Each structure stands twice: as structure tokens, then as C-alpha cells.
């Protein structure tokens, strides 16, 4: 018989950062993507038995039913890394644009070497067709910068000269930069990709449409804070980074209708999950919202399934996975594969005590029905 964790579920105020830490050998972090996006590894956690199953992202349709809603973050990564030199001295300078601020072509950015650049210093970027004036120190390594294009629009110059900012655990990748964009990216603004979505292909999405899984798009522009480890001893003491998010009325209605009809909401990655959680009321109903650069607390828990990307040790995103799998199970599930995770929540409003299992999928062959029942 499996040994179930008998400890009481800790409250958010008592969750310890140490509970979400684990050993991650650097050699197990892939430095290049798989040849096919959906050939990436997928780990299925069977909550009833605490057993693990190794699959591929291409197998995701085996676990979804007609009527389920698949929530995808359509943010597009801004080519926000700009290299240049200081006018006059010629010293190398690097800017990492974080978000646009009020004022013409004014941005919040990480500047290196920031301490050597006083307000008013000017930087020539790329081939010199874009320049930056360094402004006020905002703390935490961030500065205001005002960009000026020699010709044309600043946005066009950023797209031409900028480089996609890869995660700090990826070193020396020089392959196809489009692999760090989802195939459905359309709203430019992220400093980092919603990595779980990188493994969807047009063919996989079409297969899910043919299976009558509802496709729903929302937008959350990921900030660099997503890569910063939690430094506080308790999760509740961690200061969340600001993010821009939008959930349309149509998307909220589609997900509410799917769940009311017995379907599940499948949040692709923690960016989608925290957007949905922020949009949920105390009854678990989603409401449209638009939040320009605020901290998303993520407390509503309307997502029934959550396939996030591999999370770094002590990553703030791991807190979102806590109700789907306890920390020991999370650590046990890492293993040598560093797979994607699919946590199956019970088919009920997560805010209630109803624990009834999901009904069998009417659209699936027996083998797939068994897969879906086993994961519940």
C-alpha cells in the first residue's frame, strides 16, 4: 500500500520555503530544446496511488476530455536584451527592458553596470540606431531609461536590435530564437516565456480541438521575478513581483461554462494558473479583469489541472503546485527526467469539500478512459 502523507496541510502563512527546495544537478538541465516541441517529457502524478508515469507532451490528449477548457497564456517575449556602449568612454553596457513606464519611450530596465552610470549618461545600442538616456535609480538594480531611435519607431528598433532574454540556467544557446516563443504568442510584453506552453505544437492544438477541448487564451506578461528564488524563510513573507495580466469576459465565460457543465479547467503553466486564481471569487467563478503591473496573489484556485514547466529549487511558482502534490511527492517526482508535471485535482470546485471523482469521458476509447480515471 502507498504511504500517504498524514501531515495536516499547512496554511499559506506557515508554508516554509525549505519545503520547496530540492537538489537540482546542473547537468540535468537541458541546454537545448527537443527536436519536436511536443516530444518533451511529461510526468503524470496519479494522486490516488501516488504513483508516477512518464509520458510525452504529445500524449496530453490522453488525459483531456471533450468539454474541458485549456487555458493558455498568449504573451510574447520581448527581445528585451540590448547591448551597447557608453557614449564618450566606450565602456560596454547591457540593458534588460522590464516594462514600459508612463512617458514617451520610457522603460524600467536592469542596467549593467548600473552603479557606474549616473542619471543623464547616454548609451549607444546595437549599431547606434537606438540610444538610451539613463534616468532615476528605482532600487533592486532597476533604472528608468528613455530610448530614442535615430529613425522610425522605438518599438521597431527594439525588435531589430534586441535579443531574447533566456533564463539564467540556460547557457550559450545559439539556436533558433523562435523556440523561446510559444506557437500561439501574440501579445508582446514578457521578459520571459511561459515555458510550459513552449511544448505545444499546431498539430497538438488541432488534435485537442478535434477532441472538442475548448481553447481559451489569457495574457500575463512574465516579469524577471519569476526566476528569482524565494529568499524569505516563510512563503507568506516573500514579496511578489509585479505582472501585467488580462482575462477577457469571453474567456471567463467559456471557463465558467465548461466547469458548470462538468468539464475541467486545465491551466497550462503557473502563469495561466495565477491569472485564473486572481480572477476567481470565493465561489470559484471567474470574472474578467485587467491588472497593469500588480502582484498577483493567486488564491482562488479555479484550475482543476496544472501542467507547469520544471520549477527551480525554492521557486515561487512551486507554491501553486502545493495543492496538487505535496512537497515530498514533488521532490520524488523530479528524478533524472526533469519532466513536466500534470497534477490532477479532484473534479469539484476546489473551494468546496466535494471530492466526487470525475465522470468518464464519453469521447475516449477504453484505454484513454482508464488513463483519465487513474490520474484522478
Q: Are 303 and 276 in contact (CB under 8 A)?
A: yes
* Helix, coil or strand: residue 41: strand
pLDDT at residue number 367: 37
Distance CA 101, CA 304 (A): 35
Question: pLDDT band at 216, cuts 50/70/90?
Answer: very high
Of 118-122, 143-147, 233-237, the least confident: 233-237
Mean residue pLDDT of the chain comes to 77
Quick one: pLDDT at residue 310? Answer: 45
Which CATH number applies to 81-161?
Answer: 2.40.10.240
Check residue 186 and give its pLDDT. Answer: 96
Write down the pLDDT at residue 305. Answer: 56
338/29 Cα distance (integer angstroms):
8
Given a cut of 60, whether residue 371 has pLDDT beyond it is no
The angle formed by the CA atoms of residues 68, 71 and 74, to the nearest 5 degrees, is 150
**pLDDT surpasses 90 at 326:** no
Average pLDDT over residues 221-246: 74
Looking at 194-309, list the stretches that DSSP marks H as alpha helix, in order from N- to C-terminal side. Answer: 202-210, 249-260, 269-279
- pLDDT given at position 228: 65
Q: Work out the pLDDT band at 13, boundaries 50, 70, 90.
A: low
pLDDT of the residue at 323: 42
Please tell me the predicted confidence (pLDDT) of residue 202: 97
Q: Which CATH class name applies to 12-77+176-375?
A: alpha beta
- Please name every residue paired with 41 in a beta bridge, in sequence order, or none if there are none: 56
> What are the start-end ranges of the H helices in 31-153?
none
The confidence score (pLDDT) of residue 19 equals 73
User: Residue 365's pLDDT is what?
Assistant: 36
Helices (H) and strands (E) in the chain, counts: 7, 17
**CATH 2.40.10.240: which residues of the chain?**
81-161
Name the most confidently modeled range: 71-75, 272-276, 327-331: 71-75
Residue that the C-alpha cell 488580462 belongs to = 246
Asked if residue 136 has pLDDT above 70, the reply is yes
306 pLDDT above the threshold of 60: no
Instruction: Report whether pLDDT(328) > 70.
Output: no
User: For residue 129, is pLDDT > 60?
Assistant: yes
CATH 3.40.1780.10 domain residues, the chain = 12-77+176-375
- The H or E element spanning position 374 is helix 366-375
pTM attached to this predicted model: 0.77
Amino acid at each position: 500500500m502507498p504511504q500517504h502523507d498524514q501531515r495536516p496541510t499547512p496554511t499559506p502563512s506557515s508554508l516554509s520555503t525549505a519545503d520547496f527546495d530540492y537538489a537540482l544537478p546542473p547537468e540535468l538541465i537541458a541546454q537545448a530544446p527537443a527536436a519536436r516541441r511536443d516530444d518533451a517529457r511529461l510526468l503524470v502524478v496519479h494522486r490516488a496511488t501516488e504513483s508516477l508515469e512518464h509520458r510525452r507532451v504529445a500524449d496530453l490528449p490522453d488525459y483531456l476530455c471533450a468539454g474541458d477548457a485549456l487555458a493558455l497564456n498568449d504573451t510574447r517575449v520581448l527581445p528585451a536584451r540590448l547591448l551597447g556602449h557608453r557614449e564618450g568612454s566606450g565602456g560596454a553596457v547591457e540593458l534588460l527592458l522590464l516594462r514600459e513606464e508612463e512617458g514617451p519611450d520610457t522603460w524600467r530596465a536592469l542596467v549593467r553596470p548600473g552603479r557606474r552610470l549616473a542619471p543623464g549618461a547616454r548609451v549607444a545600442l546595437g549599431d547606434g540606431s537606438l540610444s538610451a538616456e539613463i534616468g532615476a535609480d528605482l532600487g533592486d538594480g532597476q533604472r528608468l531609461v528613455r530610448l530614442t531611435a535615430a529613425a522610425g519607431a522605438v518599438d521597431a528598433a527594439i525588435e531589430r536590435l534586441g535579443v531574447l532574454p533566456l533564463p539564467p540556467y540556460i547557457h550559450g544557446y545559439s539556436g533558433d530564437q523562435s523556440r523561446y516563443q510559444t506557437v500561439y504568442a501574440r501579445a508582446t510584453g514578457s521578459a520571459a516565456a511561459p515555458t510550459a506552453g513552449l511544448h505545444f505544437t499546431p498539430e497538438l492544438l488541432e488534435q485537442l480541438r478535434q477532441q472538442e477541448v475548448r481553447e481559451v487564451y489569457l495574457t500575463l506578461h512574465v516579469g524577471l521575478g519569476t526566476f528569482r528564488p524565494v529568499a524569505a524563510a516563510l512563503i507568506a513573507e516573500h514579496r511578489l513581483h509585479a505582472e501585467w495580466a488580462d482575462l477577457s469576459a469571453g474567456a471567463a465565460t467559456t471557463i465558467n461554462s465548461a466547469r458548470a457543465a462538468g468539464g475541467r479547467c486545465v491551466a497550462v503553466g503557473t502563469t495561466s494558473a495565477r491569472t485564473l486564481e486572481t480572477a476567481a471569487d470565493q465561489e470559484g467563478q471567474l470574472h474578467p479583469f485587467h491588472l497593469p503591473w500588480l502582484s498577483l496573489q493567486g488564491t482562488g484556485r479555479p484550475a482543476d489541472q496544472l501542467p507547469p514547466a520544471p520549477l527551480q529549487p525554492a521557486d515561487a511558482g512551486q507554491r501553486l503546485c502545493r495543492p496538487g502534490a505535496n512537497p515530498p511527492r514533488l521532490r520524488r517526482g523530479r528524478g533524472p527526467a526533469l519532466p513536466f508535471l500534470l497534477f490532477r485535482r479532484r473534479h469539484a470546485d476546489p473551494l468546496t469539500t466535494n471530492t466526487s471523482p470525475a465522470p468518464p469521458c464519453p469521447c475516449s476509447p477504453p484505454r484513454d478512459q482508464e488513463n483519465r480515471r487513474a490520474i484522478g
